[in-house]
Structure 1
Amino acid sequence: MSFFTSLSGLQAAQTDMSTISHNLANVSTNGFKRSTTQFADVIASTASTNPTNVIGSGTVVKSVRQQFSQGGFTQSTSALDVAVSGEGFFVVKSPDASGNGVAYTRNGSFLVDSNRNVVDAQGNRLQVYPVDGSGAVVATGLGSTINLQLPQTSGTPVATENVNLSLNLNANSTVPTAAFDRFDPSTYNHSTQTTIFDPSGNAMTLTTYFVRTSAPSSSDPTSSWEAYSFVGDKQLSADADPAAGTPITMTFDSTGAMTAPTGPTTFAGFLPAGSTVDQVLTVDFGNATTQVYKPFNVDTATQDGAPVGQLEGVTIAEDGTVRASFSNGDTQSLGKVVLASFSNPTGLRQLGSSTWSASGLSGDPRLGEPGTQGFGGLMAGAIERSNVDITEELVGLIAAQRAFQANAKALDTASQISQTIFNIRS
């Protein structure tokens, strides 16, 4: 019997060393939770056995219990790295077609896959509650969660129809001697560029060249200019013939006030590159455009077009709200991160890669929002490290080694006793 008693001690010590070795191997694994080995003694007795003479039969491993204490935090530069400060697990779903495989993790190191889903290193998709435009949750429960997916664009493109320019043309400018050529700066006096948009929201450049055509004289104190407008390489026409390339004629009185045009000028329609619909553009120099003795200057330049916003950044708030910002100034709430807790987290089934699944021992998950109902808050730009304490594990490893050696010595002693008995009989 002593052989099997010592053997049970050897096996228990070996299990303890294996558990500690697993902990030490994952000291740098994000979101890892250490385990401890729980032992129980083995007693075989009956009601008729004298309780003062009962000898145990060794030990058994009762359980390998996970310890879900908080790990430390590592700062990160990724906006999608997030840690739970307090109770709760991130909810992730497998990337297969059904998407029914639900797992739970404390490793908040997330990235974006080719379909713009936010996923962990195994491709499991982070789950969030759907929200409305104000960021309020509109549905709860595990069946209502959705994959967190980053949109590439935001908004609806608007083609530019009206451009407003207020500027000053230098009254000291001379009349060029050569015919206008936009590639020859000596043939025009000033130029300005304005960004406009086609019907698809693509940016184009409206370039306007100003050419002085007459200067004041003793008989005529007025001045005149011509404004040539180009969108890319296409010259716009201020009359009904789009091929004429007619410029806008601008006149000023002796005080420098603009006398013509008296209102907006609508160009003949032109076809933007890659578009199938003509775009009609109107330019208005307004009442603030002047010609005085100071350098050329554009006071205001506005237009009414709008591009489609491109994704520029993502933020995760402490309450789990995920917001995306776009190049056109739009912001959009994408969802609210879901957290799960369990009445008995030590009963969770380990899946590897710092993920767990629910079991009959853990109970069903309780879902909620970060910072509410006992759930911890989120820390963006941080990752939870392993909760393994190297010093504690090494001390435990020494103790397990001593236990193994002691049981091995007891086994050796039992063997020597048996050998002695065999020698007596011979």
Structure 2
Amino acid sequence: MAFTTALSGLNAASNNLSVTGNNIANSNTVGFKKSRSEFADVYAASLGGVSSTTAGSGVKVTNVAQQFNQGSLSFTDNNLDLAISGEGFFTLAKSPTETTDLSYTRAGEFKLDKDGYLVNNQGKALMVYAPNGTSVTDGFSTGVTQSVQINTLTGLPSATDTASLTVNLNANAATPSVTTFDPTDSNSYNSQTSVTIYDSLGSPHILTTYFVKGTSTASSTDWDVYHYMSEPATPTAKTPVNAGTYGSTVSAPSDLTVPPTPATMTFDSSGKLTTPSNGRFALSAYTITPATGASDITVSTMDYFGSTQVQEKFSVNAMTQNGLPAGRLTGIDIDDEGVIFARFSNGGSQTMGKVALTRFANTNGLSKLGDTAWGQSATSGDPIAGEAGSNNFGLIQSGALESSNVDLSAQLVNLIVAQQAYQANAQTITTENTIMQAVLNIR
């Protein structure tokens, strides 16, 4: 009867209205993917098949299919907001400690919970690949995912073992009037400079370098270089350090009143450093035992590469050392490959992990879990794990969110079409009812 056919049309139109309404309702939902109703016609088949004159029995809803095309990116002021530009889903665990129950999302509104874990609004933990070390060059264990805890970190100190100085020594300087070097007598050296270095606990110490002009010829000039260590609180308690050519070992003097063996820097007639050729001196082993109980400090290399001797006042053009004091967390950065860096006030950084992405052979087969998340199903295929920027996975944009892919104008048109279909099917029922009343009223 036409009643059942029209009723199936009403149900189909109602489903279409519901799907369109849901799309409109979520037009501003981050990471939302629009859906569409898919229909098929219905015929009452018999043993002999469907006759060519069969009118059909109506319509049925075969699927409500989500459309996983890319949504536009909107930029935010929060660098923990993440968006995927391309294929893939963020991988979420039920909680930071329950990491086996996984779901997947395109909504990247992440934040730190009370324990410092990176989670979404529902408290699900973002899964990352475990780092093999503290830097990107150490790589990541892409077969191992874990939650990532950030704000409980402290920037660990690092002991100095190399210092670099780029200086200009005044070519017009005269040889010191006092021929025996004494760090307490400014008449026994031409220039000095100091750099703060750190022990294994991050405590500062002062490494002072003294420059003494030596022999000069028409083609070259020698400078003696002395190195002394002292605690910041007791700058007069200096420990001398011997120097030799790079890679050599020279014993430190036992009598601190005797000047240590100096390093020798040689400049040619154009003011270029020629000795040592690579600019590096190897300092001899010496012992300074910090009061904090840190390991003994050993600065094994002093690098003067790029130093010059021209007729200008003594200047320090660059000064670096590779140690770090202890630091506090100052920020989090996430690059386009999903590598999470923690930045510290001491200038250091630490790799915390790499965002784990997942894709599926059939994304339309994923189970809808709500909260803009999906789960694996029998028709989606097995999850394919990967990294941003590789193996068909998209890149990650920090400080951005993926907007809903709903085109509001198109949905309003769909709404009109669905409404008309509903009204037309209702009219079919009205017409059939009129015919039935006419038949029943025949006498």
CA drift of 1:157 comes to 8.0
The Cα shift of 1:79 comes to 1.2
Mapped to 1, the partners of 2:327 and 2:346 lie a distance apart of 5
Q: C-alpha distance in 1, partners of 2:91/2:380?
A: 15
8 Å contact kept, 1:45–1:54:
no
Distance change in 2, residues 1:270/1:36 (3 Å): closer
Structure 2: distance between partners of 1:148 and 1:58: 54
1:331 partnered with 2:354: no
Aligned to 1:344: 362
Q: What's the offset of the Cα at 1:78? A: 1.0
Aligned CA distance change for structure 1 residues 74 and 230 (closer, same or farther; 3 Å): closer
What secondary structure sits across from 1:140 in the alignment? strand
Shift of 1:45: 2.0
What's the TM-score once normalised by structure 2's chain length?
0.63
Deviates more, 1:49-58 or 1:9-18: 49-58
- For 1:131, the equivalent position in structure 2 comes to 131
Alpha-carbon distance in structure 1 between the residues aligned to 2:127 and 2:440: 69
Q: Which runs of 5+ in 1 are unaligned?
A: 159-194, 204-228, 240-260, 264-268, 279-301
The one-letter amino acid paired with 1:349 is: S
Q: Deviations over 1:363-389 (max 9, x none)?
A: 111011101011111111111000000
Secondary structure of the corresponding residue to residue 126 of structure 1: strand
Q: Secondary structure at the match of 2:52?
A: helix
C-alpha separation in 1, matches of 2:322 and 2:47:
94
Q: Residues 2-151 of structure 1: matches in 2 within 5 Å?
A: 2-48=2-48, 51-95=51-95, 97-133=97-133, 134-135=135-136, 136-141=138-143, 144-150=144-150, 151=152
Which AA in structure 2 matches 1:63?
N
By how many angstroms is 1:85 displaced?
Answer: 0.6
Higher-Rg structure is 1
* Residue 225 (structure 1) aligns with: none
Query: Which SS does the other structure have where 2:20 is aligned?
Result: helix
Query: 388-397 or 303-312: which moved more?
Result: 303-312
Deviation for aligned residue 1:196: 11
Question: Equivalent residue for 2:399?
Answer: 381
CA 1:304/1:322 → structure 2, altered by over 3 Å: closer, same or farther? closer
**Cα distance change on mapping 1:97 and 1:149 into 2, 3 Å:** closer
CA distance in 2, matches of 1:306, 1:35: 54
The CA deviation at 1:357 is 0.7
User: Which one has the bigger strand percentage?
Assistant: 2
Contiguous gaps of at least 5 residues in structure 2: 160-195, 205-230, 238-256, 260-288, 295-319
The answer for the alignment partner of 2:408 in structure 1 is 390
Find the counterpart in structure 2 of residue 353 from structure 1: 371
Deviations 1:196-242 (A, max 9, x none): 99997699xxxxxxxxxxxxxxxxxxxxxxxxx998xxxx9x99xxx
CA, structure 1 residues 367+6, in 2 after alignment: closer, same or farther (shift >3 Å)? same
- How many residues of Structure 1 are paired with residues of Structure 2 in the alignment? 316
Offset of residue 323 of structure 1: 1.2
TM-score (norm: length of structure 1): 0.65
Query: Residues 49-72 of structure 1: CA distance to partner in whole angstroms, max 9, x if unpaired?
Result: 562211210001000000000001
After TM superposition, the structure 1 = structure 2 runs for residues 18-417 of structure 1, keeping only pairs within 5 Å, are 18-48=18-48, 51-95=51-95, 97-133=97-133, 134-135=135-136, 136-141=138-143, 144-150=144-150, 151-156=152-157, 307-417=325-435
Structure 1: distance between partners of 2:119 and 2:382: 23
Q: CA deviation at 1:358?
A: 0.7
Judged with a 3 Å threshold, the aligned counterparts in structure 2 of structure 1 residues 262 and 116 are, in CA distance, closer, same or farther, namely farther
Verify the 8 A CA contact 1:132 1:333 in the aligned structure 2.
no
Structure 1 moving runs of 4+ over 3 Å = 195-203, 302-307
Residues 255-283 of structure 1 show CA distances to partners (whole Å, capped at 9, x for unaligned) of: xxxxxx999xxxxx999xxx9x89xxxxx
